[in-house]
Amino acid sequence: MARIVLVGAGSITFAKNLLSDLMTFPELSASTIVLHDIDEARLATAEAMATWMVGELGIGAKIEAHADRRAALDGADYVINEIAVGGLAAVQRDFAIPARYGVRQTIADTLGIGGIFRALRTIPVMVGIGNDLAELAPDATLFNYTNPMSMIPWAVYAGTPFRNVVGVCHAARDTQRTLAGMVGVPEEEISFVTAGVNHQAFVLRFERGGENLYPRLDALIEEDPELARRVRVEVYRNFGYFPTESSEHGSEYLPWFLPHEEEVERYRIPVDIYLEWLAEGFDEYESYKRSLAAGTGVPIERGEELASLAIHSMETGTGRMIHGNVRNGGLISNLPQEACVEVPCYVDRAGVQPMRIGELPAQVAALNRTMLNVSELTVKAALEGRRDHVYQAALLDPNTAATLPVRKVRELVDELIAAHGDLLPAGIRD
C-alpha cells in the first residue's frame, strides 16, 4: 500500500483533517502514514491522534513518526507539506515590524512584506525537502499546502532536481461553490473554468447550458449594496472576472485598499486577523491534546482535502478534477513560462495532468504579472542568496509600495532581515 508522509504534522488541526480523509477511504485504509515534525512534543501529539484514529476506525493503517526528515521521506509515494517555518514568533514579527512603519496586513502569508519573508524562511527548508526527495523518493508526488503558494512550488522545481510538486489550495473550489450558491444554481450544473495565480485566479467561465451566469451575479450586486462592500466584488466590477480569494486576503495583493483608512472601513477589512486565527488554532491544539490524553480522541470528519482526493485518484484510477499549482510551461500563454500558475488538473492513475488554458484576458493577466513579479524576485532572492532582490521584491509589492517611500521600504526590509536572522538564507542576512 501507499506510503504517505505528512511534513509539518504538528499542525494538528490540518493533520486531523487530512488523516480523517485519508483513513476513511477504504482503498487507503491500509496505507502507511508517516508523520514528521521538528517539534517533538507536537509530533508526539500527532502520533497519538493518528494512532487513536486507526483504533477508532478499526482499520489496518500503519503509523510511523519521525523527527528525522530523511527517515520520514525515504521511500515515500506521496508527501503532503504543511510546514510553518519559525512558528508563531516569526509570524508575529511579520506583523509587528511592518505595523510600526504603517504597513497594514491581514494574513501576511501570500504576498506583501509578510508573504515575502514567509517565503524567504520557508524556501531553504523546501529546497532541502526537494533534494531529499530527489535522492530518497524520486517517483513521489509532493503536495504543497504551505503559502506563499505562488513561490513555494516554484522554488522546489527551480532550485532542486525534484520536479513532481503540485500546490493545492481550496480557494478556487470554494469560490466556485460560493458563486453557485449566490446565483442559486446547483454547482454540478455549472461549467466553470478558473485559472491564474494562486489566490488571484479568476473565474473565466461561469455558465449553465450555454447561459452566461455573470449577468445574474451582476443583478445581485446591483440589488444589494452590502455586496459592493467586498474587496473581491470591487475587483470583479473593475476587471470583469470574479477572483478566487476572500476579501480580507485579496486586499493585501493590491495597492488600493489597506493603505487608506477610509477604504479599510468601507470594505470592512479585518487588519491583523491572522493573529486571531493563530490564537484560536493554539487553543484548539491544547483542546485536542487534552482529549487525547483523556482517551476521548478527536472528531473524525471528512473534509474533502484536495491532497487526499488526488492520492485516492492516483491509487484507484478514479478520475477527478482539482485545481493545482504547477510550473506554467505554456499552460497560460501570457504569463511567464517559469512561473507557478493555478489551473484545473485532471487526476487519475497517470497522475496530475494540468489543463492548457491559453491566453488569460489581458486585464487579469496584468494583475497576475504584478503578483508574479514579486514572486519571481523573492524566489531568486532565496535561491541565490541576494539581498538586493529582497529590496526589489518589496519595492514592487503593491501594498508595501503604496504605503511607503523607497527609503522606508529598505529600512523595513533591513529590520525584518535582522529580526528573522538564521531563518533566512545566509547570503541575504550577511
Q: Which residues are catalytic?
A: 170
Q: Which residues contact 135 (CB under 8 A, 6 or more apart)?
A: none
Measure the CA dihedral 340/342/344/345, to 10°: 30
> What is the residue-wise DSSP string for 25-80?
SGGGTTPEEEEE-S-HHHHHHHHHHHHHHHHHHT---EEEEESSHHHHHTT-SEEE
54-69: b (≥16 Cβ within 10 Å) or e: beeeebebebebbeeb
Nearest 5°: the CA angle 257, 262, 268 is 70
Q: Are 40 and 59 in contact (CB under 8 A)?
A: no
Q: Strands (DSSP E) along 339-394, which ranges?
A: 340-348, 351-354
Neighbours of 86 (CB within 10 A): 21
3-state secondary structure of 371: helix
Burial of 241 (0-12, 13-18, 19+ CB in 10 A): buried
Cα–Cα–Cα angle for 366, 368, 374, rounded to 5 degrees: 110
Q: Residues near 365 by Cβ (< 8 Å), separated by ≥ 6? A: 332, 334, 335, 359
**Residue 214 and residue 237: Cα distance in Å, rounded?**
11
Question: Which of the 8 DSSP states describes residue 297?
Answer: -
Cell of 365: 493577466
Give the integer Cα–Cα distance in Å for 302 and 40. 27
Q: What are phi and psi of 372, to 5 degrees?
A: -70, -25
Omega into 344 within 30° of 0, i.e. cis?
Answer: no
Residue with cell 466553470: 192
Interatomic CA distance for residues 132 and 176, integer angstroms: 36
Q: Across the strands, what pairs with 143?
A: 80, 166
Burial class (CB in 10 A: 0-12, 13-18, 19+), 380: buried
Report whether 160 contacts 131 (CB < 8 A): yes
